[in-house]
Amino acid sequence: MQFCTLFFAWLLVLAGLFELTRALLVELYMYPISYVAAWILSSMGINAYLGETLLASGVCQLAVSDILYLVTFECTGIFALFMCAASVLAYPASKMSKIKGISLVVPAFLAYSTLRLVVMGLVARFIPDQIELFHVYIMVLVNIGFVLLLWLYWVREIVPPREVA
């Protein structure tokens, strides 16, 4: 019960911080992820580029072939990152283990979020009729699986067994 209470408390804190730093997160999180995804797709020989015209409204434009994605925070997995971070912070472990957990989670999500956009770009290029299926269903399930996998890895491999209360 304490874990659940702390988990939801941390989610509220992270949601509040998100609202206070939304514009900064566009520049430091959403845009770099979108930029690297466009670069990777271009490096793979896929016609992809990133437009900046909507950054002020919190959206990146990622064009892949003839498909234009409006990349929002949901597309970058930031809310799944918040769930994973809240799980780490709520878990009964030492401060050092939690610092290690956040140090694992943030870069892992940067890489995962970039890969997620690359996959959506590949879907746009090779099977554009399946964009809705991938975007709404498959990638949501992958988000949940990634959060669970990353958190369980942290609990099993980084948190010492004797530390758990």
Encode pLDDT of 85-96 as tens digits: 999 999 999 999
Q: At residue 156, does pLDDT exceed 90?
A: yes
Concatenate the DSSP letters of all residues of the chain into one string: -HHHHHHHHHHHHHHHHHHHTHHHHIIIIIHHHHHHHHHHHHHTT--EEEE-TTGGGT-EEEEETTEEEEE-TGGGTHHHHHHHHHHHHHSS--HHHHHHHHHHHHHHHHHHHHHHHHHHHHHHHH-GGGHHIIIIIIHHHHHHHHHHHHHHHIIIIIS-GGG--
Check residue 95 and give its pLDDT.
Answer: 95
Check residue 65 and give its pLDDT.
Answer: 84
Tens of pLDDT, residue by residue over 13-56, are: 999 999 999 989 998 999 999 999 999 999 999 999 887 667 77
Q: What is the pTM of this model?
A: 0.88
